[in-house]
Chains A and B, each alone.
Chain A
Amino acid sequence: MEVTMRPNSVAAGSGWTERLGRAVKGFLINPRWLALFLLLAGWEALAIYRNTRVIPRLERIYIELVHIISTGLFIEHLYASMVRIVLGFIVAMILGTTIGILMGSRHTWDEFFKDTVLFGLALPGLIYALIAVMFFGLSILAPITAIVGTSYPFVAINIREGVRALNKDLLDMARAYRVRNWDVVRKVILPSLLPFVLAAIRVGFAIAWKVNTLVEVFGTVNGVGWQIRASFDSYSVHGMLAWALLFGAVMLAIEYWILVPIEHYFARWRPNVGQVI
């Protein structure tokens, strides 16, 4: 009798159909749906039991969701918010990258900026929001300043780590071979910095949209934060939940479906160090 040896991968099924099947199965047969179901069922039970306006039925929230989307209200205020977020985020990236590069390359700059960065990391966005609105009023500078203030320290520390992680040996080798400066920047420094820049973008963006919402609560006349404030003022829990869920979904989609995959793609050469946040 002949004994044939088959490699393990063939026995387990490693073709793309098998892998797709396993991925779908892992997605469907998952305790997370149980958690979601329990959460929704619990909310609905509470809403029926308490029968009060501040715990709306799920149907009420759903109606509000549909209303916001179908009347174009969501797009209108989302656009207003996104303009502020993007502008603030860009300025924060420029400032944070500059400071990060300075901090990473010279110890004196590190000492100089260390406290301001630490302070910026620790101060809650609320303070930035209140001071910015007090100072700039209803102008667009309020959210931009608040975003820059809260976001630039996170960008700076990421870029600083990137600069400090530059391989000095490669730089020395480039200098020994008299490689032109521009080529050194393009082929050694930038690729090495890229994963850190992308991490900075991800963290900076996450901070930016949260602070922007806060500023909009206190001092704007449109935008998602303003809508949330309006819902709060009229005790409309269903309105606030609808806006929060929609906006949160869009922001999380940007973070997890665009920023994180880009970061993982460009950082795949790095050894995996676990990060908690």
Chain B
Amino acid sequence: MGLATNASAAQARTDRTVQVTKRLRSLIFSYRWLALICVLVIWQVIALTSNIGVLPTPLKVVTAGWELVSTGLFFKELAASMVRILIGFGLGMLLGLIVGVLMGARRFWDAFFQDLVVLGLSLPGLIYALLCVMIFGLGLTAPVVAILLASYPFAAVNIREGVRAIDKELIDMARVYLVNRSRVIRQVILPSLLPFILAAVRVGFTVAWKVAVLTEVFGAATGIGYQLRYNFQLFSMRTMVAWALLFGAVMLVIEYGILVPAERYFARWRPKIKEVI
């Protein structure tokens, strides 16, 4: 018996090593690196040969970026932006949760909020940013309100779908068995809603940081957006591109490194529907 389990354990270890090696190999010998090289080459060629306008070479951008990171300026401005993003995003999620639950639960609220939500989904972030800066001026209120208004519809739509997908039979069964209300919420409703809440968080965060940067471009004295506008006005392309790429990288890491895996983990019980976005 001992020998058999040892052998099967050894087999499992070999299988895992083979799997890991396979994945490492497909990561290294992949066409994705070829694509990256092509992009860099095209970028370099356009930067060197074009006489249309100013395009910094990749090396200049990397140098500028390194300077921003090593002097700590990047992190200082990132913190300023993140404060606005998180506050606005939090409030937006809260509002979206309330509106979404109302819309999913009662047809009256669904019809009531429908136009506002559709309008909110379609209106470009630019309008929110400009309006809020004009009305609230410089300061924390403008970006927070802009993010709130821009992100709540996305959260609301997702939460609404979640509420409508709650299994009514389970709720009825809980009522038949006289299960007390907080238990029903905790053990039936919340687990069912969780994947939708995480989808709302993911989409909401995406919208939040984009609108935040946009608001900062027009009406802030600190933050990533302010730096983008400052360098744009000074025509210092390399620094502007460096700011954009650094910030984009941080946001992508948050989205694809934290939010998407979290969503996938909590949604693993769901049947796989191919999603386009």
Q: Which residues of A contact B (CB under 8 A)?
A: 30-32, 34-36, 39, 54-55, 108-109, 111-116, 121-127, 130-131, 134-137, 141, 154, 157-158, 161, 199, 206, 210, 213-214, 217-218, 225, 228, 232, 235, 237, 240-241, 244, 248, 251-252, 255, 273-277
Q: What are 8 A-B pairs at a CB distance below 8 A?
A: A32-B114, A112-B31, A113-B35, A121-B277, A122-B248, A134-B232, A210-B125, A277-B203
Would B244 and A130 count as touching, CB distance under 8 A? yes
Name the one of A111, A121, A235, A248 contacting B122, with C-beta atoms under 8 angstroms.
A248
State how many angstroms separate the Cβ of A208 from the closest Cβ of chain B. Answer: 11
State how many angstroms separate the Cβ of B98 from the closest Cβ of chain A. Answer: 15
Q: A122-B251, A244-B127 are in contact. Are A112 and B35 (CB under 8 A)?
A: yes
Q: A112-B31, A130-B240 are in contact. Are A240 and B124 (CB under 8 A)?
A: no
Name the one of A109, A199, A225, A241 contacting B276, with C-beta atoms under 8 angstroms.
A199
Q: How far is the CA of A210 from the CA of B211 in the complex (A)?
A: 13
Q: Which residues of A contact B113 (CB under 8 A)?
A: 35
State how many angstroms separate the Cβ of A240 from the closest Cβ of chain B. Answer: 6
State how many angstroms separate the Cβ of A274 from the closest Cβ of chain B. Answer: 7
Specify the chain A residue showing the minimal Cβ separation from B53.
A135
Would A115 and B36 count as touching, CB distance under 8 A? yes
**B237 contacts the other chain (Cβ, under 8 Å)?**
yes
Q: Which residues of B contact A (CB under 8 A)?
A: 30-32, 34-36, 39, 50, 52-55, 108-109, 111-116, 119, 121-127, 130-131, 133-135, 157-158, 161, 199, 203, 206, 209-210, 213-214, 217-218, 225, 228, 232, 235, 237, 240-241, 244, 248, 251-252, 255, 273-277
Would B135 and A35 count as touching, CB distance under 8 A? no
Q: A115-B35, A135-B54, A210-B124 are in contact. List 13 more A-B contacts (CB 8 A).
A: A35-B113, A35-B116, A116-B35, A121-B277, A122-B252, A124-B210, A125-B210, A127-B248, A161-B276, A214-B126, A240-B134, A251-B122, A273-B273
Would A115 and B114 count as touching, CB distance under 8 A? no
Would B213 and A124 count as touching, CB distance under 8 A? yes
Provide the main secondary structure of the chain A interface: helix
Q: Which residues of A contact B275 (CB under 8 A)?
A: 275
Q: How far is the CA of A157 from the CA of B212 in the complex (A)?
A: 27
Would B126 and A228 count as touching, CB distance under 8 A? yes
Would A111 and B30 count as touching, CB distance under 8 A? yes
Q: A206-B122, A248-B123 are in contact. Are A112 and B32 (CB under 8 A)?
A: yes
Q: How far is the CA of A161 from the CA of B274 in the complex (A)?
A: 9
State how many angstroms separate the Cβ of A135 from the closest Cβ of chain B. Answer: 4
Would A134 and B53 count as touching, CB distance under 8 A? yes
Would B228 and A130 count as touching, CB distance under 8 A? yes
Would B124 and A126 count as touching, CB distance under 8 A? no
Q: How far is the CA of A39 from the CA of B217 in the complex (A)?
A: 28
State how many angstroms separate the Cβ of A164 from the closest Cβ of chain B. Answer: 9
Q: Which of B125, B134, B225, B228 has the most CB of A within 10 A?
A: B134
Q: Which residues of B contact A274 (CB under 8 A)?
A: 161
Name the one of B31, B111, B158 contacting A111, with C-beta atoms under 8 angstroms.
B31
Q: Which residues of B contact A31 (CB under 8 A)?
A: 108-109, 111-112
Q: A232-B134, A240-B134 are in contact. Are A252 and B255 (CB under 8 A)?
A: no
Would A35 and B112 count as touching, CB distance under 8 A? yes
Name the one of A30, A112, A137, A237 contacting B111, with C-beta atoms under 8 angstroms.
A30
Q: How far is the CA of A54 from the CA of B213 in the complex (A)?
A: 22
Q: Which residues of A contact B214 (CB under 8 A)?
A: 124, 126
Q: Which residues of A contact B133 (CB under 8 A)?
A: 232
Would A54 and B135 count as touching, CB distance under 8 A? yes
Specify the chain B residue showing the minimal Cβ separation from A131.
B241
Q: How far is the CA of A214 from the CA of B114 in the complex (A)?
A: 27
Q: A161-B276, A217-B126, A248-B123 are in contact. Are A276 and B131 (CB under 8 A)?
A: no
Would A252 and B122 count as touching, CB distance under 8 A? yes
Would B34 and A112 count as touching, CB distance under 8 A? yes
Q: Which residues of B contact A276 (CB under 8 A)?
A: 157-158, 161, 199, 203
Would A36 and B240 count as touching, CB distance under 8 A? no
Q: Which residues of B contact A130 (CB under 8 A)?
A: 228, 232, 240, 244
Specify the chain A residue showing the minimal Cβ separation from B199.
A276
Would A158 and B276 count as touching, CB distance under 8 A? yes
Q: How far is the CA of A244 from the CA of B128 in the complex (A)?
A: 10
Q: Which residues of B contact A34 (CB under 8 A)?
A: 112
Q: Which of A114, A126, A199, A273 has the most CB of B within 10 A?
A: A126
Q: Which residues of B contact A210 (CB under 8 A)?
A: 124-126
Q: How far is the CA of A127 from the CA of B224 in the complex (A)?
A: 12
Q: A116-B39, A214-B126, A240-B134 are in contact. Are A126 and B217 (CB under 8 A)?
A: yes
Q: How far is the CA of A130 from the CA of B244 in the complex (A)?
A: 10
Q: Which of A30, A32, A274 has the most CB of B within 10 A?
A: A32
